[in-house]
DNA sequence: AATGAGGCAAAAC
DNA sequence: CGTTTTGCCTCAT
């Protein structure tokens, strides 16, 4: 149907958009994950999926945002386990009860937009 | 059906 | 304008 139009106008200050991303990110419930594209669209950034990823990279180490709940589309973990962030992401996600298999998680089960119609 | 790998395009700083 | 991005999608096995 209609695409998720940008909630924020392009005139919004960069800081405002950033806040939108942080806000949506903080809204991600535990045990669930969202893709960069979804997060970007939710924040009103449109298709700035990649930009969202970079934004996380800029996040401070003491950030309280659940950046580890943000993964690639389809529930794929883009962060390699060889990296500190990648390793921590897996550790945190597993701590939430997620089942990571082959760097992938069941988006239909842990995805924020879970199609969990059976419970 | 699921997994692995590569190529392509958009948005923002 | 040039650089950068933790991507998304499609194809092949």
Q: Is the CB of A56 under 7 A from strand C?
A: yes
Mean pLDDT score, A19-28:
91
Residues whose CB falls within 8 Å of the CB of residue A69, separated by 6 or more in sequence, listed in order: A25, A28, A30, A32, A33, A34, A93, A96
| Distance between CA atoms of residues A30 and A92, nearest Å | 10
A60-96 pLDDT tens trace:
888 999 999 999 999 999 998 888 888 999 999 999 9
Residues with CB under 7 A from strand B: A 10, 14, 17-18, 45-48, 50-51, 101-104
A103-CA/C4-C1' distance, Å: 25
pLDDT level of residue A119 (50, 70, 90 thresholds): low
| Total-model pTM | 0.90
Query: Which nucleotide across the nucleic acid strands is nearest to A37, CA versus C1'?
Result: C7
For A89, the token pair is 């992401």
Quick one: pLDDT at residue A62?
86
Helices (H), A1-119: 14-27, 36-43, 49-58, 84-95, 107-110
Mean pLDDT score, A29-46:
91
Q: Is the CB of A35 under 7 A from strand C?
A: yes
């Amino acid at each position: 149907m209609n695409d998720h139009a940008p909630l924020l106008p392009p005139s919004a200050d960069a800081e405002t958009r950033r806040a939108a991303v942080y806000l949506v990110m903080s809204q991600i419930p535990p045990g669930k994950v969202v893709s960069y594209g979804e997060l970007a669209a939710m924040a009103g950034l449109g298709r700035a999926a990649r930009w969202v990823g970079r934004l996380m990279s800029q996040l401070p180490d003491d950030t309280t945002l659940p950046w580890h709940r943000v993964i690639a589309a389809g529930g794929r973990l883009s962060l390699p386990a060889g990296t500190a962030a990648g390793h921590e992401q897996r550790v945190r996600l597993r701590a939430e009860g997620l089942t990571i298999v082959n760097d992938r998680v069941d988006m239909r089960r842990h995805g924020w937009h879970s199609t969990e119609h059976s419970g």
